[in-house]
Amino acid sequence: MQRGVTVWFTGLSGAGKTTVAKWVEAILKERGALVERLDGDVVRQSLTRDLGFSKEDRDKNIEGVTFVTKLLTRNGVVCLSSFISPYRVVREASRREIGEFLEVFVTAPMKTLLERDVKGLYKKAMAGEIQNFTGVNDPYELPENPDPVLHTDRGSVEACAGQVIRLLERRGYLEAAGDGPAVEAGIVSLLAAGRDGVPEAASATLATGDGHAPGGDGGRHPTLGPIEPHGGTEARERAIARAQALVQVELDERELADLEMIGIGALSPLNGSMRKLDYELVVESMRLADGLLWPLPVTLAVTQEQADQIAEGQVYTVPAHERIPS
């Protein structure tokens, strides 16, 4: 069964909670995940229709929603909940109650919100026609450690939704699309290298790198021979056959080393070279899109001609003559 989780979108009215959640919902459905979306506007017309916007009523609203999302979450649903939920302590209580919980802070500057004013509520609140309007005459307490922050004035809806999808993948709630291209490429290239004559010692080192091989020389002795490949011989044959149909990309020494590191998990949670969003965030703020501290970009530099042949996320292989450094 799929692991359930609540993705809690919090932020001011018009920040983009509903818009991003809808995109995430569409992507998740396309990937076959069980998903449910709950939205303040909708829930307030049914489950909590008797509630207003005093602190007490908002707290009751979130309490009711938490009860429902907890049930969905524990039954394997990815629950996308979009509520202003302005009080930190109440959001923390929801996190504790639900357990599998990601807090996504959706934000844009007040200037942008006033320009958007999707429902005309800011205009009314500024004119004093609505009382207790969050961000104008009612408080919003900023999240202290949100999982990601979505700046909807800077990134497109697609990019913001992408940040959430990547987070779900990294936290293990969603299988990565395309089976993790570079990991596969890494395995394929290791296999290709082994088959086409990497010196035996190097080959044995790679093959015994899981620590299973005995011996006072740390399992490096060439006469031990390689162990069964991970996944069995058939998987190896299938991978080799598949590699023949893939686009080949010539890597330099540095990139080949990166590939090996990705393949063995040393650069986890990266499962491929960085995509544009992660690259830009690392250069700008030394963080991946999900907020993880990450000092250096890991990229695959290709010529324009090669780039034209490869789509983002596509699996590639390296030519058989490229060697894994021993």
Ligand X SMILES: Nc1ncnc2c1ncn2[C@@H]1O[C@H](COP(=O)(O)OP(=O)(O)O)[C@@H](O)[C@H]1O
Binding site for ligand X (CB under 6 A): 11, 13-20, 82, 106, 116, 118, 152, 155-157, 160
278 to 181, 282, 294, 303: CA distances (angstroms): 16, 6, 10, 21
Q: Which does 203 bind (CB under 5 to 8 A by kind): ligand PPS, ligand X, none?
A: none
> 22, 34, 53, 97: which one contacts ligand PPS (CB under 6 A)?
53
Q: Of the two residues 14 and 194, which places its CB atom closer to ligand PPS in the complex?
A: 14
> 3, 29, 31, 41: which one contacts ligand PPS (CB under 6 A)?
41
Q: Is 176 marked as binding a ligand?
A: no
Q: Of the two residues 85 and 271, which places its CB atom closer to ligand X in the complex?
A: 85
Spatial separation of the C-alpha atoms in residues 192 and 322, rounded to whole Å: 9
Q: Which does 148 bind (CB under 5 to 8 A by kind): ligand X, ligand PPS, none?
A: none
Spatial separation of the C-alpha atoms in residues 9 and 37, rounded to whole Å: 11
Q: Which does 86 bind (CB under 5 to 8 A by kind): ligand PPS, ligand X, none?
A: ligand PPS
H helices of 138-247, in order, are: 157-170, 181-195, 200-207, 232-244
Q: Is 135 marked as binding a ligand?
A: no
- Among 86, 65, 84, 90, CA closest to 6: 65
One-letter identity of residue 117: D
Q: Of the two residues 134 and 189, which places its CB atom closer to ligand PPS in the complex?
A: 134
19 binds ligand PPS (CB under 6 A): no
Phi, psi of 229 (to 5 degrees): -65, 150
Can you tell me whether residue 317 is helix, strand or coil? strand
In the complex, least distance from residue 21 CB atom to ligand PPS, rounded to whole angstroms: 10
Q: Is 119 marked as binding a ligand?
A: no
315 to 56, 149, 186, 245, 292: CA distances (angstroms): 53, 30, 10, 10, 25
Q: Of the two residues 101 and 122, which places its CB atom closer to ligand X in the complex?
A: 122
61 binds ligand PPS (CB under 6 A): yes
263 binds ligand PPS (CB under 6 A): no
In the complex, least distance from residue 113 CB atom to ligand X, rounded to whole angstroms: 9
Q: Is 12 marked as binding a ligand?
A: yes
Q: Is 267 marked as binding a ligand?
A: no
Compute how many other C-beta atoms are within 10 angstroms of the C-beta atom of residue 281: 21
| Count of residues that bind ligand PPS according to CB under 6 A | 21
Count Cα atoms within 13 angstroms, Cβ side, for 65. 36
H helices of the chain, in order, are: 17-30, 40-43, 55-74, 88-98, 110-116, 121-126, 157-170, 181-195, 200-207, 232-244, 253-264, 276-285, 304-309
Q: Of the two residues 61 and 163, which places its CB atom closer to ligand PPS in the complex?
A: 61
Phi, psi of 76 (to 5 degrees): 85, 15
Q: Which does 156 bind (CB under 5 to 8 A by kind): ligand X, ligand PPS, none?
A: ligand X
User: What are all long-range contacts of 209-217, with beta carbons under 8 Å and residues at least 24 apart?
Assistant: 209/264
Q: Of the two residues 161 and 318, which places its CB atom closer to ligand X in the complex?
A: 161
112 binds ligand PPS (CB under 6 A): no
Spatial separation of the C-alpha atoms in residues 42 and 34, rounded to whole Å: 20
- Among 284, 36, 1, 17, CA closest to 143: 17
Give me the active site residues, please. 85
Q: Is 180 marked as binding a ligand?
A: no
Q: Is 16 marked as binding a ligand?
A: yes
| Residues in contact with ligand PPS by the rule CB under 6 A | 13-14, 18, 40-41, 44, 53, 58, 61-62, 83-86, 119, 121, 130, 132-134, 138
> Binding site residues, as ranges?
11-18
> Binding site residues for ATP, as ranges?
11-18
